[in-house]
Structure 1
Amino acid sequence: MTTVREQPPWREPPAPPAGVDLPPLRIYNSLTRSKTLFVPIKAGEKQVSWYACGPTVYDESHLGHARSFVTTDIIRRILKDYFKFKVQFVMNITDVDDKVTIILRARQQHLLADFISKNSTSRETPLETATHALNAYLEKNLKLVPSDTPITTLDAEVKKQYANALAGKSMDDAPVGDREAKLKMHIRTVASATEALTSPDIQLDQFFAKSQDILLPYLDSLHGSSIDADDHSIFTKLTSFYEGRFMEDMRALNCLDPDTLTRVTEYGPQIVDYIKTIEEHGFAYKTTDGSVYFDVGAFESANNKYPRLEPWSRNDKGRQAEGEGSLVQTTSEKKGNSDFALWKASHPGEPSWPSPWSKGRPGWHIECSAMASDVIGPQVDIHSGGIDLAFPHHDNELAQSEAYWSSKNQHEQHQWVNYFLHMGQLSITGSKMSKSLKNYTTIKEALSRRDWTSRSLRIVFLLGNWRDGIEITESVIKESNAWEDRLDNLFFKVHDLVDRKNSRSKSSSLASDLKTALLKAQKETFDALCDSFNTRQVMLIISDLVGTTNSTDWQTVDRDDIISVAKWVTEMVNMFGLNGNASAASASIGWSGSSIPEEAKPFIYPLSDLRDQLRQKARSTEGITAADLITVTRLERPVVQGISQTYSAISTKFAKDISDLATSESKSLSKSVLELCDRLRDVDLWEKGIYLEDSLNAAEPAVVRPVTRELLIVREGHEQQRLAKQKAKEDRERHAIEEAEQKAAQGKLSHLQMFRSSEYSEWDADGFPTKDAEGKDLAKSRSKKLRKEWERQKKLHEAFLAAQQK
């Protein structure tokens, strides 16, 4: 394998006009494989054009997609909200592709739906078809399984032949990777289909659900070519559905909508014209089957470079084939091995559009070139996508776009894209998260199961480098949770500081260390973001500043300095997209969930202040008196309306319970008051999502805060400990009872009768044996042993008799 790292030609954009102040932002550029100074084409207006490769929509989006698109959204927000660029963000939707992933999936789903509708009442045809489909699936994907294996022993045979893959080992000497992951996927598919075929009482809908993965390719092999190529609705029905699902997922992850969204199926005429221009420039040729290929040789002869992003991958036939698509037939008419399809003549069962060359469809790569050029023009500031798209997709885009915007006689290379950004991938135990491997968790599943929130997932990505791969591990999750909890604690305390009438910090004219720390953090953040969007460094800077603020004695610093820190941190989390739709310039402090409901504040803060006073008095040396409790009648009661009745009721109930104590005959008022205070904190307010966090310093008031994941986990842990202790106590008590019952049962037998059996022939007056069954005297050793048993039973029986008398 070659490791050539040829530095491709790249022309630095011209310097901005005089008087234009641009940040010293340097971005890692895949075109130069280095950090280059960012100067947009329209630097004077601070306008940035950005084209992002969007999804191929034929299935649910997974966390791997979240990695790419959330990271893209983060960088877009930094450019827009931090560096104040005007960003034109264009993204495409691939709803038909030359790789025919969508074509195949849509066609298969159409055929399966038709098959189910025709066999919704009969079991005979589905069983017969699924049996043939299973055999075909095994022959193609699990070749080690003998073809004559009975279905009753199929599962055992599969596990035997593919034991290594199932155990996480390599099937050969190569490292464990995608091959083993695919084998596991095929094994799961076969197991599901086998269950469907061997379950006699299975319902038809369950049968089709469990066997669909073998039926899809089999039905397509039989009837795929019969699909009407002009009926595009067969294909767009699937893609329209999943485009909607994708946009739902992106909004759930708080990604901004694109300024412009383009779809391949809406660009047929423009793509044809685009290819015609490339052909006119001498960089494309037609083959006899009606396809059009890009002429890499002619392109290079005109003083152009190919490939520019990954020159070392030029001869990687596997990736070239992947870029062309699994169902695309290789033509012998290609002039060079690196030539790639601009237009493919459609085969039976594939959608088609008219063109001068044939009824066909666009090549996978040409779609982005045509759409980006149409919306943005001859030059693009930023082009982005996942790192897996660099070659051949983006390299082919570059070549054909530069061929389009130049001419054969123009020897100076046209630079179509100035900055290429490639996002790192998300991996699972070393394998790329992939739809084809089915080793993914969908975004909807992750959010609905509360494995992740939009915020927690974004924090994980922010704590990494945007262009590096990331694997979610336990340590990564712990770091993310700790960062979120640290900011939660700051926002809780600042809300409490701002919303309380009695401030817990003092105003001071003296410059504080906190103010210095904030200025330092702001300067370091600017430097980090100018260093190719180094969000991890910024996250650590924010964490350090928040840690310093949380650990500072707020009685000794100016409250405005504390609030200034909280406002700047809020501005940063808003800018990173960690706070829903809040803008970076929002005047609010904190993020969603960091404050109790507004309608609760008029009730809860006076209630918390009263509770603080009562607790301090009850815990004092002199304790609390009935006279002290009368102060509860002075508790403020705001006007009750709507949902506020809930909090008014809690406040009123606590006041009444305290008042009742004042007239009670309780001999321990302080203890009773503290119990009511704990109930208010741990039950009444907790159930409404509010928690009063008592300070270790009894003189400081409790912090009023929402109930968070962190608190729920702590309480759950305490509850589990309590239940464990309770269970241990119950086990001890049950064991004692069982032991007593066992002793009682043993004590029923009289020691006078215990040895009266055929094992002995003579006994003394106490029922103790003196001779064995043959009439011989018992040996002294045996007699001694029996005497101990007799004495023990005597005690048990006497205890039993005594218990009976009671």
Structure 2
Amino acid sequence: MSVRLSIICNVRSIISQTRVGKAISLQFAYCQRMMATAVRQPEWQQPKEPSDSKLPPIKIYNSLTRSKNPFYPINPEQITWYACGPTVYDDAHLGHARNYVSTDIIRRVLRDYFKFKVRYIQNVTDVDDKIILRARQKHLINELNHGRLGAFSEDLTSTRTSALRAYLRKNLPKIQEDTAPLAIVEGTLAKDYSTVLEGQPLVPGTVAGDKEAKIKMHIRTALAASRAMHAIEVKAEPSPGDLVSLEDVLMPYLDDKLKNTIDSKDHSIFTNLTRFYEKRYTADMRALNVLDPDEITRVTEYDKEIVAFVERIEQNQFAYTIKEDSSNKSVYFDIKAFEAANNSYARLEPWNRNDTDLLADGEGALSKDATGKRSAADFALWKASKAGEPSWPSPWGEGRPGWHIECSAMASDKLGKKFDIHSGGIDLAFPHHDNELAQSEAYWNNDHDHQYQWVNYFLHMGHLSIAGSKMSKSLKNFTTIKEALDRGTWTPRGLRIVFLLGGWREGIEITDAMVREGSAWEERVNNFFIKAKDISEDTRKDTEGDQDLLESFEKAKDDTFAALCNSFDTPTVMRRISELISDYNIAYNSADKPPPSPSTTLSITRWMTSVVNTFGLNGTATPEDPKIGWSGIDVPEDAKPLLTSLSRKRDSLRRKARSKGITKQDLTPVPYPERTMTEAQLKSEAPFKGILESFNKTLQGLNDSQTLAKDVLQLTDRLRDTDLWDKDVYLEDRDNDAPALIRPVTKELRAAREEKERRAREKEEAKLKKEQAKKEEAPKPDKGEQDHMTMFRTEEYSAWDADGIPTKDKDGEELTKSRRKKLGKDWEKQKKAHEVFLAKGK
């Protein structure tokens, strides 16, 4: 017992496993209670290692034990895995990407590196409180916008004002209820909630977290909604974002007033929403190169199985019913009865079992404390449906599944009474997964004599955070996956690299440093693949000078195996890959010995390719894919023959021009590589064909003169620096007349050129500034120095009088009187200035 308690109460474990400071104090309190009362904790049953198989020595961090345990699958032939999938009522965001990409990485490592077969089941939650609320609200706002809500539609100004005041009353109660919308914009919110807006916590002495972030979100929504209302009032155009916030204020108000008008049997109101967002979620996951689940389960397709599951728990005397109305009952899990039968509740996060906020969140926004619950912690297995909620028939009347029961029923149906891995985000550990465990153990445990172990390994993915708060829909502090990819903020590879660098259990904070680290790693590997691909295709014979590099290579492979066995420690693997590239570059740039041989280069590149393919960094490529490197290190395949022909001609011209041995006879056109091509291939090659034709035309227009060598070099430089560069192709010239490398333009190359251009601009600006200063320092000429008698004797005129004043223009035409009069005034002015100048000279 003492060893067990010391593990639970270890401070490092406390800090790593809690989400906020409050949870830390709860965990300490739990440890103290445990020590004082010696409450029984179930011992995790280590699965047995099969005697007839040799498994890799994998250890997995298991949330059930809060430690690393040897991984022995129940059946070595196939790992069984159930993952909690999305709740589909909105677009998936980068926080979801964190969960599902990290899960995908572990799945790929088990499948592609350790060669396990993996049966991966994932659910889609398509009915719960959040979905019911969102679907009703979306339906009602659509009805309002189409004028179908009676008085609410007829007097929109009154509806909006009432909705905003209701929103303030519920979410920002410090604001006076009769505050006008415009006054809110003018500073009322900023004044009454200045403490939170300045980043301070609600409770002095604590740390600002999700509660403070939620208040900021409500402030933003209220401000934006009031701006939209004011714009509409003065007949201006509200911004799209302000209109969205106005809807966010209107929807809960309409739902509160009209939810009872929703037909509970019209499931389409709810499924239209969930099917739409499930398709979008699937598209997002595929865009991120996340493997499809082997099977998908949906709550709405499991109503009968869920009812049967609840019935069995009730038969096992671990559940009781509460009458909600005249005909319908809710079914609740009886935690006291469960623990009295020698079981334990809240095995994953026992310190949170009395956290009222988490318990309330687990029961859902539509669930109030039911009258008759035997314990505040008891949770719903089956909910009697209220007006405006979808319902299905059951022995207890019309109702719907509780949130947690869905996963227990679906996972048990697909994977049976025991399976290997259950995974999800860390925020699901309590109450969702703890409740899952309890009700599933209550379902499968018929003899009541022992703790039943339904899942052997629980894996929880760390959060993705912004400014200390987890990224979530409820906080509205998220960027959707689609937005991030469409804007180019992230690429599927770049995002996955960041998760690999951070590990799957640890939380990740989005910072500039994190983004730079991921970009640097990607560029480093990208440049290695480009260089190695060219060297590996070299026909040069191998040398014996690669011993140090080969030793580093073997160490990298050994360290990678050890790291992946150590609970899928991808940060260590990423670091070893970077170090191996450094060792390779040192050998490549050594002045004492030749660069690494083609065979060594090819071996390292193939291994590195297999690792990045295993991690899902190269699209659909597998570790066995024969193509080395990853996508993006090569020029367009269809244009390769043309680019090769063009580059080799350029090499020849450049070599002769630099040696001053070029003649007109060398200016033969680049031949176009004739071959059979499809329409798509021709389209891909077309931009480069235009460059080739333009190059040939310019080349043949050059004259055999003293400047021919200079003209040819300018043409070859333009081909490299402008024509091909603008098409994302770069010709990298090399020493010793080696053929130029034909490579894609990378971020590093672009950055290097931009830096070079920036320095050139600064140099030119400094030069101009210096010249300007020099001019300003030089003595200005005296205007009187010009002799008035000769000031007009220019080609602009053809005849002058005795004083030198023009009488005819350059074509011999007589000047007009007004023109002569003006010139005379200028002459008189200059005469006086010249006389002063002469006087100064005396």
Runs of 5+ unmatched residues, structure 1: 749-792
Shift in CA distance, 134/646, structure 1 to aligned 2, threshold 3 Å: closer
Counterparts of 2:832 and 2:582, CA distance in 1: 67
Q: Is 2:332–2:381's contact at 8 Å kept on the other side of the alignment?
A: yes
Counterparts of 1:545 and 1:126, CA distance in 2: 66
Which AA in structure 2 matches 1:154?
Answer: I
Counterparts of 1:342 and 1:380, CA distance in 2: 22
Q: CA deviation at 1:357?
A: 1.1
Q: Is 1:492–1:703's contact at 8 Å kept on the other side of the alignment?
A: no
Q: Is 2:84–2:407's contact at 8 Å kept on the other side of the alignment?
A: yes
Match for residue 304 of structure 1 among 331, 343, 359: 343
SS at match of 1:147: coil
Q: Is 1:496–1:704's contact at 8 Å kept on the other side of the alignment?
A: no
Q: Who is 1:682 aligned against?
A: 721
Q: Is 1:54–1:91's contact at 8 Å kept on the other side of the alignment?
A: yes
Shift in CA distance, 582/796, structure 1 to aligned 2, threshold 3 Å: farther
Counterparts of 1:248 and 1:591, CA distance in 2: 22
Counterparts of 1:125 and 1:733, CA distance in 2: 70
Shift in CA distance, 679/204, structure 1 to aligned 2, threshold 3 Å: closer
Q: Who is 2:144 aligned against?
A: 115
Which AA in structure 2 matches 1:32?
Answer: T
Q: Is 1:607–1:635's contact at 8 Å kept on the other side of the alignment?
A: yes
Match for residue 521 of structure 2 among 470, 478, 483: 483
Counterparts of 2:669 and 2:244, CA distance in 1: 66
Match for residue 189 of structure 2 among 148, 158, 165: 158
Counterparts of 1:798 and 1:739, CA distance in 2: 24
Match for residue 113 of structure 2 among 75, 82, 87: 82
SS at match of 2:332: strand
Counterparts of 2:434 and 2:505, CA distance in 1: 18
Match for residue 177 of structure 1 among 180, 192, 209: 209
Which AA in structure 1 matches 2:529?
Answer: F
1:148 aligns with 2:188: no
Q: Who is 2:606 aligned against?
A: 567
1:186 aligns with 2:218: yes
1:650 aligns with 2:691: yes
Shift in CA distance, 664/133, structure 1 to aligned 2, threshold 3 Å: same
Q: Who is 1:673 aligned against?
A: 712
Shift in CA distance, 16/608, structure 1 to aligned 2, threshold 3 Å: same
Match for residue 270 of structure 1 among 305, 322, 326: 305
Shift in CA distance, 726/442, structure 1 to aligned 2, threshold 3 Å: farther
Shift in CA distance, 794/165, structure 1 to aligned 2, threshold 3 Å: farther
User: What does 1:774-793 correspond to in 2, within 5 Å?
Assistant: none
Match for residue 128 of structure 1 among 154, 158, 167: 158
Match for residue 548 of structure 1 among 580, 583, 587: 583
Q: CA deviation at 1:287?
A: 1.4
Could you list the per-position Cα deviations for residues 39-81 of structure 1 after superposition, in whole angstroms to 9, with x for gaps in the alignment? 10112x2x00000000111111111000000000000000000
Match for residue 355 of structure 2 among 303, 316, 320: 316
Q: CA deviation at 1:294?
A: 0.8
SS at match of 1:229: coil
1:429 aligns with 2:470: no
Counterparts of 1:162 and 1:794, CA distance in 2: 73
Could you list the per-position Cα deviations for residues 2-43 of structure 1 after superposition, in whole angstroms to 9, with x for gaps in the alignment? 42457641111122132x121111100111111111110112
User: What does 1:29-48 correspond to in 2, within 5 Å?
Assistant: 29-43=62-76, 45=77, 47-48=78-79
SS at match of 2:323: coil
Which AA in structure 2 matches 1:149?
Answer: T
Q: Who is 1:15 aligned against?
A: 49
Q: Who is 2:427 aligned against?
A: 388
Counterparts of 1:254 and 1:424, CA distance in 2: 20
User: What does 1:400-799 correspond to in 2, within 5 Å?
Assistant: 400-407=439-446, 409-497=447-535, 503=538, 505-508=540-543, 512-553=547-588, 555-619=594-658, 623-627=659-663, 630-631=665-666, 633=668, 637-639=672-674, 641=677, 642-643=682-683, 644=685, 646-651=687-692, 653-654=694-695, 657-658=698-699, 660-661=701-702, 663-665=703-705, 667-695=706-734, 697=735, 699-721=737-759
Q: Is 1:743–1:796's contact at 8 Å kept on the other side of the alignment?
A: no
Q: Is 2:228–2:239's contact at 8 Å kept on the other side of the alignment?
A: no
Could you list the per-position Cα deviations for residues 481-513 of structure 1 after superposition, in whole angstroms to 9, with x for gaps in the alignment? 1111111112112333356xxx37433367643
Could you list the per-position Cα deviations for residues 665-691 of structure 1 after superposition, in whole angstroms to 9, with x for gaps in the alignment? 1x3444333322211111111122210
Q: CA deviation at 1:649?
A: 4.5
Counterparts of 2:210 and 2:465, CA distance in 1: 11
Counterparts of 2:835 and 2:230, CA distance in 1: 64
Q: CA deviation at 1:188?
A: 1.6
Q: Who is 1:240 aligned against?
A: 275
Counterparts of 1:339 and 1:146, CA distance in 2: 38
Q: CA deviation at 1:692?
A: 1.3
Q: Is 2:500–2:574's contact at 8 Å kept on the other side of the alignment?
A: yes
Q: Who is 1:105 aligned against?
A: 134
Could you list the per-position Cα deviations for residues 167-196 of structure 1 after superposition, in whole angstroms to 9, with x for gaps in the alignment? 333344132222221122112211222122
Q: Is 1:514–1:562's contact at 8 Å kept on the other side of the alignment?
A: no
SS at match of 2:61: strand
Match for residue 378 of structure 1 among 414, 417, 423: 417
Q: CA deviation at 1:539?
A: 0.6
CA-atom RMSD, angstroms? 3.2
User: What does 1:177-216 correspond to in 2, within 5 Å?
Assistant: 177-199=209-231, 200-202=234-236, 209-216=244-251
Which AA in structure 2 matches 1:64?
Answer: G
1:64 aligns with 2:95: yes
Comparing 73-82 and 566-575, the one that deviates more: 566-575
TM-score (norm. length: structure 2): 0.82
Q: Who is 1:250 aligned against?
A: 285
Counterparts of 2:73 and 2:588, CA distance in 1: 46
Counterparts of 2:144 and 2:653, CA distance in 1: 74
1:335 aligns with 2:367: no
Q: Is 1:610–1:632's contact at 8 Å kept on the other side of the alignment?
A: no
Comparing 167-176 and 506-515, the one that deviates more: 506-515
Q: Who is 2:18 aligned against?
A: none
Match for residue 55 of structure 1 among 74, 83, 86: 86
Q: Who is 1:223 aligned against?
A: 258
Counterparts of 1:746 and 1:125, CA distance in 2: 81
Could you list the per-position Cα deviations for residues 633-692 of structure 1 after superposition, in whole angstroms to 9, with x for gaps in the alignment? 49664215524454345345445545554x421x34443333222111111111222101
Runs of 5+ unmatched residues, structure 2: 1-25, 35-40, 787-828
Comparing 138-147 and 465-474, the one that deviates more: 138-147
Q: Is 1:230–1:351's contact at 8 Å kept on the other side of the alignment?
A: yes
Shift in CA distance, 797/455, structure 1 to aligned 2, threshold 3 Å: farther
Could you list the per-position Cα deviations for residues 279-321 of structure 1 after superposition, in whole angstroms to 9, with x for gaps in the alignment? 1111111112211111111111221111111111122122111
Shift in CA distance, 507/221, structure 1 to aligned 2, threshold 3 Å: same
Q: Is 2:528–2:581's contact at 8 Å kept on the other side of the alignment?
A: yes
Could you list the per-position Cα deviations for residues 743-776 of structure 1 after superposition, in whole angstroms to 9, with x for gaps in the alignment? 999999xxxxxxxxxxxxxxxxxxxxxxxxxxxx
Q: Is 2:669–2:700's contact at 8 Å kept on the other side of the alignment?
A: no
Counterparts of 1:382 and 1:166, CA distance in 2: 42
Shift in CA distance, 678/177, structure 1 to aligned 2, threshold 3 Å: same
Shift in CA distance, 196/651, structure 1 to aligned 2, threshold 3 Å: closer
Counterparts of 2:643 and 2:831, CA distance in 1: 66
SS at match of 2:584: helix
Shift in CA distance, 447/735, structure 1 to aligned 2, threshold 3 Å: farther
Q: CA deviation at 1:405?
A: 0.7
Shift in CA distance, 672/304, structure 1 to aligned 2, threshold 3 Å: same
**What is the count of residue pairs matched by the alignment?**
743
Counterparts of 1:421 and 1:299, CA distance in 2: 24
SS at match of 1:420: strand
Q: CA deviation at 1:719?
A: 4.3
Shift in CA distance, 652/410, structure 1 to aligned 2, threshold 3 Å: same
